[in-house]
């Protein structure tokens, strides 16, 4: 993805089911839990670069000794720092429960206080709670008021803190963990995968009822493991794809202090709407299913790309935007090579764009900074034939379009292609998201800006009736009782009109090559990723009522020229 996006965090839970001597004798290490937790976190390092945290809990601690240890970091390389803390800690043989978390700061400061696990300290082990999660909620304000209404004084408005306090509050009177979770989470609107443990050793993991956020588990007589991504568990425990299962949405996996584990009913099951951006971008593509799906997304674009290139196959050069679009590009390339074989033509391809990940500048002058910004990406010369080739570059998605306009397209234009086709393996992102991507401001989305331009052009021609501008029509739609005030407005224009306007917005002044933008269709997206139907950022079909509230708030913020967060 060429745009910089904050997105979903990562979690890891490990419960040892044998005594320390078992792991020492079988695996030759006195810190089996710490090593495996470190591996689970390292194999999910893509899920958080703003902070990292871990906790180790002891079972049946002696009074006067701490029942758990919490380690956190917001260093420049927080995961590296945390793994060092884990390795250097003084291990104890009774450490049995291990929690880990990787944080992407979608909201809140880069501060240790915002790092998971959160801890609620009580006078009993049963009500002392440690919690970590991958979540975004749309109604944090309401939860804050609910907690206040219980007679408590919340010292923080962070959603993780509030969820921890509400769950801990419901642990009173010896309630089982599934009951406490149900009472605390039934009113939480949003997406979550939560892991946690009481200091008494009852551990748990739960996904939201729609299954929006990912979560996987693995159980043997030695361990119970939960993580946000399947390959992390496979790598850490050398197990097969089939050994690692998705956490069932709405149910809670409970591991009692004696090591017994079972799924229990907790939250009412809802329509399955797993986030499809996990398949497009968030999760690493070494998951076998995700790898297959991303290749399918690339192949599904082939016909649209060839039509847009408007050239003989031998006069098209195929490439991609590094690095997350690489697997989709492989799918496109395999399809094109097959087509080339059928008609006896060769397919030309290579890596044209090279991202300089270490590029840094501290130049104060704005114009000089812009000049340096163009060179965040470098280019391979001599592959594209100047004035003859159509250059195809595949990206996994185009969100804001800033990097595409200010860095990538100017860089590609230096190669002198006749035409540049920018292809996105995802459909255009038309709606704000409140469940994963940090993308709650409508005016930042290039697809929405294109819509506004089209509306203003139509208004100038007198085609919007009494509305004399895009803002007037959008305000009228917002005042209606439409659940999705944008759906009918987007439908006023064809996909071709919308994509053409996006292309116009992406092209910087002075670009020599003609540019055309090709987007994945929603139908093809669902065909390629059939199990992940959470597509609200493309369609406006939100899985919870909070999503529609966020949409209306985002539209109001746009109309009132506010850049406030919409949830």
Cβ count near 502 (within 10 Å): 24
- For the segment 140-169, the average pLDDT, to the nearest whole number, is 89
Tell me, yes or no, whether 30 and 93 share the same domain. yes
Tell me, yes or no, whether 189 and 267 share the same domain. yes
Confidence at residue 372, expressed as pLDDT on a 0 to 100 scale: 58
Burial class from Cβ neighbours inside 10 Å (0-12, 13-18, 19+) for residue 351 reads middle
Tell me, yes or no, whether 268 and 287 share the same domain. no
Tell me, yes or no, whether 41 and 166 share the same domain. yes
Domain boundary among 272, 297, 314: 272
Confidence at residue 398, expressed as pLDDT on a 0 to 100 scale: 92
Tell me, yes or no, whether 205 and 240 share the same domain. yes
Angle between helices 302-309 and 326-343 (to 10 degrees): 70
Tell me, yes or no, whether 102 and 225 share the same domain. yes
Q: Which two tokens stand for residue 247?
A: 């956490």
| CATH at 254 | 3.60.20.10
Q: Which two tokens stand for residue 293?
A: 């799906």
Tell me, yes or no, whether 377 and 318 share the same domain. yes
Confidence at residue 239, expressed as pLDDT on a 0 to 100 scale: 97
- Would residue 564 count as lying in a domain? no
Average pLDDT, the chain: 92
Tell me, yes or no, whether 92 and 217 share the same domain. yes
- Would residue 567 count as lying in a domain? no
Q: For residues 206-224, b (16+ Cβ closer than 10 Å) or e, as one string?
A: bbbbbbbbbbbbbbeebbb
Q: For residues 551 and 432, is the Cβ–Cβ distance under 8 A?
A: yes
Domain boundary among 223, 255, 272: 272
Q: For residues 273 and 526, is the Cβ–Cβ distance under 8 A?
A: no
Tell me, yes or no, whether 230 and 308 share the same domain. no
Q: Which two tokens stand for residue 147?
A: 């907690």
- Would residue 72 count as lying in a domain? yes
pLDDT at 425 over 80: yes
Confidence at residue 362, expressed as pLDDT on a 0 to 100 scale: 47
Its domain, for residue 296, covers 279-559
- Would residue 135 count as lying in a domain? yes
Q: How many domains would you assign to the chain?
A: 2
Tell me, yes or no, whether 207 and 303 share the same domain. no
- Would residue 172 count as lying in a domain? yes
Least confident of 64-68, 153-157, 524-528: 153-157
pLDDT in tens, 341-379: 999 999 999 999 987 655 544 444 555 545 555 667 789
Tell me, yes or no, whether 418 and 537 share the same domain. yes
DSSP state, residue 211? -
Tell me, yes or no, whether 261 and 293 share the same domain. no
- For the segment 36-45, the average pLDDT, to the nearest whole number, is 97
Confidence at residue 377, expressed as pLDDT on a 0 to 100 scale: 76
Distance of alpha carbon 410 from alpha carbon 432, whole angstroms: 28
| CATH at 501 | 3.40.50.2020
Q: How far apart are the first and last CA of the chain?
A: 24
- Would residue 2 count as lying in a domain? no
Task: Give the length of the chain.
Answer: 567
- For the segment 167-188, the average pLDDT, to the nearest whole number, is 93
Confidence at residue 440, expressed as pLDDT on a 0 to 100 scale: 79
Q: Of 396, 437, 401, which is closest to residue 293 (Cα–Cα)?
A: 396
């Amino acid at each position: 993805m060429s745009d910089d996006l904050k997105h979903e965090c990562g979690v890891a839970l490990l419960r040892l089911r044998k005594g320390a001597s078992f792991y020492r004798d079988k695996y030759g290490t006195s810190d089996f839990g710490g090593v495996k937790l470190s591996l689970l976190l390292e194999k999910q390092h893509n899920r958080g670069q703003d902070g990292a945290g871990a906790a180790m809990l002891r079972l049946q601690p002696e009074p006067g000794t701490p029942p758990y240890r919490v380690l956190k970091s917001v260093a420049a390389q927080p995961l590296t720092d945390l793994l060092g803390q884990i390795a250097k800690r003084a291990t104890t043989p009774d450490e049995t429960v291990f929690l880990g978390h990787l944080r992407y700061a979608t909201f809140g400061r880069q501060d240790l206080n915002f790092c998971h696990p959160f801890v609620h300290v009580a006078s009993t082990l049963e009500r002392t709670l440690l919690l970590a999660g991958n979540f975004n909620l749309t109604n944090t304000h309401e939860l804050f008021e609910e907690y206040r209404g219980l007679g408590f004084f919340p010292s923080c408005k962070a959603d993780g803190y509030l969820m921890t306090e509400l769950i801990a509050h419901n642990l009173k009177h010896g309630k089982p963990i599934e009951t406490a979770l149900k009472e605390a989470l039934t009113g939480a609107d949003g997406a979550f995968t939560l892991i946690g443990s009481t200091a008494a050793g009852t551990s748990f993991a739960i996904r939201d009822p729609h299954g929006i956020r990912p979560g996987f588990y693995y159980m043997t007589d030695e361990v119970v493991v939960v993580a946000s991504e399947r390959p992390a568990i496979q790598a850490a425990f050398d197990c097969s794809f089939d050994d690692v299962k998705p956490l069932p949405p709405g149910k809670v996996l409970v591991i009692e202090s004696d090591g017994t584990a079972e799924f229990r009913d907790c939250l009412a099951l809802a329509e399955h709407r797993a986030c499809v951006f996990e398949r497009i971008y968030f999760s690493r593509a070494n998951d076998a299913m995700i790898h297959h799906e991303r290749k399918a997304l690339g192949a599904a674009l082939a016909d649209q790309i060839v039509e847009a290139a408007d050239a003989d196959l031998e006069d098209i050069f195929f490439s991609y935007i590094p690095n997350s679009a690489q697997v989709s590009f492989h799918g496109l390339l395999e399809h094109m090579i097959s087509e080339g074989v059928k008609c006896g033509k060769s397919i030309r391809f290579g890596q044209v764009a090279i991202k300089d990940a270490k590029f840094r500048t501290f130049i104060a002058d704005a114009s000089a900074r812009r000049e340096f910004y163009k060179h965040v990406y470098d280019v391979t010369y001599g592959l594209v034939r100047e004035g003859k080739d159509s250059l195809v570059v595949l990206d996994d998605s185009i969100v804001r379009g800033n990097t595409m306009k200010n860095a990538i397209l100017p860089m590609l234009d230096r190669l002198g292609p006749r035409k540049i086709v920018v292809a996105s393996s995802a459909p255009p992102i038309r709606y704000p998201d409140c469940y994963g991507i940090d993308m709650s401001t409508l005016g930042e989305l290039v697809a929405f800006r294109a819509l506004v331009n089209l509306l203003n052009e139509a208004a100038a021609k007198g085609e919007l009736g009494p509305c004399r501008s895009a803002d007037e029509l959008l305000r009228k739609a917002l005042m209606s009782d439409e659940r999705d005030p944008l759906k009918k407005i987007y439908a006023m224009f064809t996909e071709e009109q919308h994509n053409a306007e996006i292309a116009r917005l992406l092209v910087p002044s002075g670009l020599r090559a003609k540019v055309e933008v090709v987007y994945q269709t929603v139908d093809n997206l669902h065909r390629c990723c059939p199990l992940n139907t959470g597509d609200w950022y493309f369609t406006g079909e939100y899985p919870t009522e909070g999503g529609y509230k966020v949409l209306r708030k985002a539209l109001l913020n746009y109309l009132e020229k506010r850049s406030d967060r919409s949830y």
